[in-house]
Amino acid sequence: RVLVGTKVDETHANWVTAYNMLTGIRVSVSRTNAKLDRPLTDADFEAKQKSTFDIAGNELVPSAKYDFKFKDYAPWVFRHLRALFRLDPADYLMSLTGKYILSELGSPGKSGSFFYFSRDYKYIIKTIHHAEHKFLRKVLKDYYQHVTDNPNTLLSQFYGLHRVKMPYGKKIHFVVMNNLFPPHRDIHQTFDLKGSTVGREYKGDDMEKNPRVTLKDLNWLRRQQNLELGIQKKQLFLEQLSKDVRLLQKLKIMDYSLLVGIHDMDRGNEENLRDKTLRVFNPGGDVPDEFDPHSVLMRTPSKLETQRKARELRQMIKSERPVPMGETSNRMPDELREGQNRPGFVFNQDDGGFRATHEDNTPGDEIYYLGVIDCLTHYGIIKKLEHFWKGFSSDRRQISALPPQEYGERFLNFINGITMSQEEAIRVKQERDAA
Ligand code: ATP
Ligand code: CA
Ligand code: CA
């Protein structure tokens, strides 16, 4: 499937929803962050806070453009999670502010979820099903504990769980999480790997030309591709991955994948300004004719401006004043051009990603951006049914809906099997040819 996105502005069908999502996040996050930090209690994991936004506003909730209700789940837990993932609170709010707020990635999955990128491309908002929402709340404590024990976890980083409801509209649950891919580097190939082969193939005829399609397990195998990591990095990666998978197995989660974005350093950032800008506002999409990237780039604020804005936001947070809407509108923050590093995190150590290495640990020519995504599917009754039906027609071990224990084993085995340096791959091939 091709990832096509569109800029969300006033003319977009989901503008009001997206706008309200951001307003709700901003107000609730600054409200929680304004308070003095304190240790978490058991009650924090169950907590939820409801706000009613209306055009008039009141002493607790500032006036908003539209009428809607907003629910913030476990605000203190997510505040602590954001701190564990080392997000700067003011930065987080800044990314989720502005006029060209988001770009929408229709519904790339079968699940019907919608994806929105923050305008600086750092964060993803994903709408989730009620069952996924309930499930995340249920396992939040385990997740929190895991992140505390595993600062380098490869699992999706959840920064917030919220619900928005418009008058007469239905309740929309959503999470805010990390975008695995960097704003400043072209991703030349993307793979979504589950360790299953049945149906795991992208078949579009634009496969070779379009770097923005998400390829799957079979495409990976056919290309005889490897995650080229030498001994040290391979060990770091596989150890963390198996710890993460153990948690998913314990929580009876399945259907997750390893998302791999590959930046080829020989090709570098070869795309021109127009394409580059587009990737930010319209990831994977075609350039609408009327869209002039220069007009967007021109609005990039200076470093000083960005710092001033950050100071103001910090001030507002401190003084418990809600952050106004649309203040930093039209601007792309500096981080976009400077690159986004997450210093201190093992799998983001090389320009925000994890660079390939040779067997002797010398650097290779690819940078991997990777993580485990879509990890809120509980092995419930629906999956059991799917398992039952698919079990008739296909090899039972190959279909994707296996029970969580087997799913995890197959997943780890697959990733294990494709993680090797070029040198190791050559040896393996020679051995295979000899046999
Ligand atoms: P389905 O259940 O049908 O697999 P879904 O709606 O649950 O779909 P995901 O599997 O979470 O969707 O994601 C779909 C695609 O969106 C991924 O293959 C990937 O290309 C992109 N994507 C998802 N999460 C991220 C992320 N954190 N960073 C970058 N890209 C992502
Ligand atoms: Ca998925
Ligand atoms: Ca899913």
The three-point CA angle 2-126-227 to 5° equals 55
Q: Examine the pLDDT at 123 and tell me if it is beyond 60.
A: yes
Ligand 1, atom 20: closest residue by C-alpha: 214
Of all atoms in ligand 1, which is nearest to the CA of residue 180?
A: 28
Interval 100-126 mean pLDDT: 77
Of all atoms in ligand 1, which is nearest to the CA of residue 178?
A: 27
CA of 111 from ligand 3 middle (Å) equals 6
pTM score, two decimals? 0.83
Ligand 1, atom 11: closest residue by C-alpha: 374
Residue 300 is predicted with a pLDDT of 37
Of all atoms in ligand 1, which is nearest to the CA of residue 257?
A: 10
CA of 214 from ligand 1 middle (Å) equals 9
CA of 331 from ligand 3 middle (Å) equals 32
Given a contact cutoff of 8 angstroms between Cβ atoms, the answer to whether 255 and 407 are in contact is yes
Q: Where are the domains of the chain?
A: 6-179+283-331, 189-270+340-434
Of all atoms in ligand 1, which is nearest to the CA of residue 112?
A: 6
CA of 108 from ligand 1 middle (Å) equals 7
Between 1.20.120.530, 3.40.50.300, 3.40.50.1100, 3.30.800.10, what CATH number should domain 6-179+283-331 receive? 3.30.800.10
Q: Is the ipTM of this complex over 0.95?
A: yes
Q: Examine the pLDDT at 35 and tell me if it is beyond 70.
A: yes
DSSP symbol at 168:
T
Where does 166-286 show beta strands of DSSP type E? 172-178, 189-193, 214-216, 257-264
CA of 271 from ligand 1 middle (Å) equals 24
Ligand 1, atom 16: closest residue by C-alpha: 108
Among residues 136, 124, 231, which one has the least CA distance to residue 178?
Answer: 124
CA of 8 from ligand 2 middle (Å) equals 23
Among residues 189, 262, 263, 231, which one has the least CA distance to residue 427?
Answer: 231
Given a contact cutoff of 8 angstroms between Cβ atoms, the answer to whether 230 and 202 are in contact is no
Ligand 1 pocket, CB under 6 A: 3, 108-111, 113, 115, 124, 156, 177-181, 190, 192, 214, 259, 373-374
DSSP symbol at 324:
P
CA of 9 from ligand 2 middle (Å) equals 27
pLDDT-derived band at 98 (thresholds 50, 70, 90) equals low
Residue 269 is predicted with a pLDDT of 73
Q: Which residues pair with 124 in a beta bridge?
A: 117, 177
pLDDT single digits (tens) 169-200? 999 999 999 999 998 888 999 999 999 888 78
Cα(383)–Cα(390) distance, integer angstroms: 10
Of all atoms in ligand 1, which is nearest to the CA of residue 113?
A: 6
Residue 257 is predicted with a pLDDT of 97
Residue 285 is predicted with a pLDDT of 42
Of all atoms in ligand 1, which is nearest to the CA of residue 110?
A: 3
Q: At what angle do helices 75-84 and 130-149 cross, to 10 degrees?
A: 40
Which of the ligands is closest to the CA of residue 374? 1
Which residues make Cβ contacts (< 8 Å) with residue 29, sequence separation at least 6? Answer: 75, 79, 89, 92, 93, 160
Which of the ligands is closest to the CA of residue 111? 1
> Which CATH class name applies to 189-270+340-434?
alpha beta
Interval 77-100 mean pLDDT: 88
Residue 69 is predicted with a pLDDT of 97
Where does 166-299 show beta strands of DSSP type E? 172-178, 189-193, 214-216, 257-264
CA of 295 from ligand 3 middle (Å) equals 36
